[in-house]
Amino acid sequence: MTNKHLKNSVREWIRENNEQLVKLTQGLVRIPSISGDELKIQEFIHKFLKDMKLKPEMIYPDLEILRKDVDYFETTSFSRVGYKNRPNVATTLTGSGDGRSICLTGHVDVVSPEPLEGWTRDPWGGEVEDDLLYGRGSGDMKAGIAAMFIAVQAIQEQDVELMGDVQLETTIEEEDGGVGGNLFLRLVRPKVDAAINPEPTMHNLGVASGGVMYFRVTVKGVPAHAATAHFGVNAIEKMMLVVNALRDLNSKRQRTTSFKIVEESDPRMKGHVTTINIGTISSGDWPSTVPAKAILESRIGWPPGETREEVQKQVEEAVSEVTKSDPWLSENPPIVDWFGWYARPHVLDLESDFIHLMKRNITEVVGVTPKFAGGSAGLDTRFFAHRSIPAVTFGPETQRIHSFDEWVSIESTLKTAETIATTLIDWCGV
């Protein structure tokens, strides 16, 4: 059979076994797997891969190895629960010759569905209505994981003998930075020639990720009875000066930072490819006391072009400028500390063989030439890219990820599986 025939036959198999893809996605959605609680779903996947006659391994993150890497940071879920019951799952479909290898990788963790009263469907129900499958993680990214497994099953069932190895892996804590997940597997698994991560890209081709860091600002005040508030110093009011300084820095950065790949794929992002988000502020005990301390937590995200150190310096300088302008703050400077997410951005070489191949296969299966996307959020693909491996995100259509009534389109998940399967044939060789 020619490549073209093989590709058609695996695509047909995927279409005929559409029910299996739906069932597998539902099975994954029905296991809650909020970052930190990934064991059950990984056991489910381990068994699924064993039933596929593969030899999956449970791979637990090892802090001693991780800490030596430049991209290591302590994730917030690690601080909360550690890595003890949080395995990654990985296996290899071994090729028959010396073809090019590829890794199919997806994250099993999801964000919390709270507050539940916002949902009109069961977030862990996997309900299907027409083409849509609902649930937390349906789009981000359990349908994508199902698509990559079904693509490999199609290859097996149609007796396609690939020459290159296909690595399959499901990882933990992507929502938290992917350190114990994708980064750890890059440190202990064999190096590959390319990778596909079926995050929900709406059939665009994700070729970049943003830098992401978290920071905290702590401001001190002086407590006093509210009746004699002027004897104290109100930490909330002092924190407002810091908030304004961060807002000014944000506006300035948004005016001067651009990233064409993102702006062209979504014009609404123009002027917003970098953001300082004030995520939490906590302060005060009750109305009758002048608050003595205020703490702000923020995420800064930015596209490729700036280093982590340059961005940190800008934030610290903005806080130190506002400190100088206020007598109390000058005497009691706010403390800035960096915690959690500490990710470098990445962008791939858009002229590489792999990008051209993906573009061609997406166009053939989906019927539309994909746009390039990425660069406004952190992604696991950066860990491949920083090792010079072309790693793309490409996945189904979805709406309301990280929000109420998240859904994924089944038809687009089938197309994702077809695109992955045809790319395995072209890339690994037969």
Site for Zn ion, rule CB under 5 A: 140-141, 199
Please report how close the Cβ of residue 199 comes to Zn ion at its closest, in angstroms.
5
- DSSP letter string over 149-180? HHHHHHHHHTT---SS-EEEEEES-GGGTSII
**Least separation, in Å, of the C-beta of 373 and Zn ion?**
13
Give the Cα separation of 126 and 406 in Å (integer). Answer: 10
CB of 309 to Zn ion, least distance (A): 27
Q: Under the phi-then-psi rule, with left for phi > 0, alpha for psi from -120 to 50, and beta for the rest, what region is 36?
A: left
Name the minimum Å distance from CB 42 to Zn ion: 16
The answer to whether 126 and 30 have CB atoms below 8 angstroms apart is yes
Q: What is the DSSP string of 7-52?
A: HHHHHHHHHHTHHHHHHHHHHHHTS--BTT--HHHHHHHHHHHHHT
Q: Which is nearer to Zn ion, 24 or 290 (CB)?
A: 24
CB-nearer residue toward Zn ion: 158 or 409: 409
Report whether the peptide linkage leading into residue 115 is cis, meaning its omega lies within 30 degrees of zero.
Answer: yes
With respect to Zn ion, which residue has the nearer C-beta, 111 or 163? 111
Instruction: Please tell me whether residue 299 adopts helix, strand or coil conformation.
Output: strand
- Smallest distance, Å, CB 166 to Zn ion? 21
How many other C-beta atoms can be found within 10 angstroms of the C-beta atom of residue 270?
14
* Nearer to Zn ion among residue 165 and residue 199 (C-beta): 199
Cβ 249 to Zn ion shortest distance, Å: 28
Q: Which residue is nearest to Zn ion (CB)?
A: 140
Instruction: Pick between residue 54 and residue 141 the one whose CB is nearest to Zn ion.
Output: 141
Choose between 140 and 418: whose C-beta lies nearer to Zn ion. Answer: 140
- What is the H or E stretch that residue 247 is in? helix 235-256
